Amino acid sequence: MSAAMAAFAFLLVVAIVFPLASAFPSPPVSWGQQQLDPHFYDHSCPQAQQIVASIVGKAHYQDPRMAASLLRLHFHDCFVKGCDASILLDSSAMITSEKRSNPNRDSARGFEVIDEIKAALEAACPHTVSCADILALAARDSTVMTGGPGWIVPLGRRDSRGASVQGSNNDIPAPNNTLPTIITKFKLQGLDIVDLVALLGIYIMSHMHHAIYNIYPLYILLRLNLFVSDCCYIARVTIYIACR
């Protein structure tokens, strides 16, 4: 795809979706007895967001594709049981990792960046910042570092102790799904047809030898409307990211 075509495609999708940006919620966001708040770590770990941004920036400098990979991790995490970091769990006697699912096997990447962020946060603020919040912040910072807009990230998610490889296989939209199936999968996440068009966008295949799930939009716009995890993540976000 030429640079001119890519620019036109980007502007077209932005024109459709960016008006939704005004729908950002006013923090804090409540759901049941749980509450998300952008200031959740202001006292317990005030340097948390700076640490995340620093390591994401280093990873993006070393590998420009990492920004897209970190956003994809957050997307695939949120579509299965909500944004609870279940995608990060390895297989054990009790669970089968979502990393083994068709959408993630041999294609999900960026885990080492999340591990580095977690280690740095544990050194600064032990047992404080959840991995689910790390994924959310890393997705936002990746977007900003590739020239996209920033947004306020509600914080305070809880990490899952379980994983669902079946949910990963069934809930994440696949390139070979029919349109009605994909629409249904988006509706189950509280997302509508505008979100579907924005996310799927204009596809490229970055590496022909990779699995079918390595097809990505050249420019992705993703609005996270209603993802419910243990801490009930509710946010409206309009973002774009350039995949390389």
Cα–Cα distance, 175 to 181 (Å, whole number)? 11
pTM: 0.71
Cα–Cα distance, 176 to 213 (Å, whole number)? 9
pLDDT digits over 155-188, tens only?
A: 999 999 999 999 899 988 887 888 888 888 888 8
Structure tokens at 85: 């970091």
- Phi and psi at residue 66, in whole multiples of 5°? -65, -30
pLDDT band at 147 (very low <50, low <70, confident <90, very high): confident
**pLDDT of 28 strictly over 70:** no
Q: What percent of the chain has pLDDT over 90?
A: 40
Residue 3 vs residues 8, 25, 174: alpha-carbon distances, Å: 9, 35, 27
Is position 106 annotated in a ligand binding site? no
76 belongs to the catalytic site = yes
Pick the CATH number of 3-13+45-236 from 1.10.520.10, 1.10.10.1200, 3.40.190.10, 1.10.287.130: 1.10.520.10
pLDDT band at 215 (very low <50, low <70, confident <90, very high): very low
Domain map of the chain by residue range? 3-13+45-236
Question: What dihedral angle (degrees, nearest 10) is formed by the CA atoms of 174, 239, 156, 31?
Answer: -80
pLDDT at 39: 96
Helix 66-78 vs helix 111-124: crossing angle, to nearest 10:
80
**pLDDT of 14 strictly over 50:** no
Is position 162 annotated in a ligand binding site? no
Is position 86 annotated in a ligand binding site? yes
Is position 77 annotated in a ligand binding site? yes
SS3 81: coil
Q: Which of 39, 76, 127, 210 is catalytic?
A: 76
pLDDT at 124: 98
Burial class (CB in 10 A: 0-12, 13-18, 19+), 3: exposed
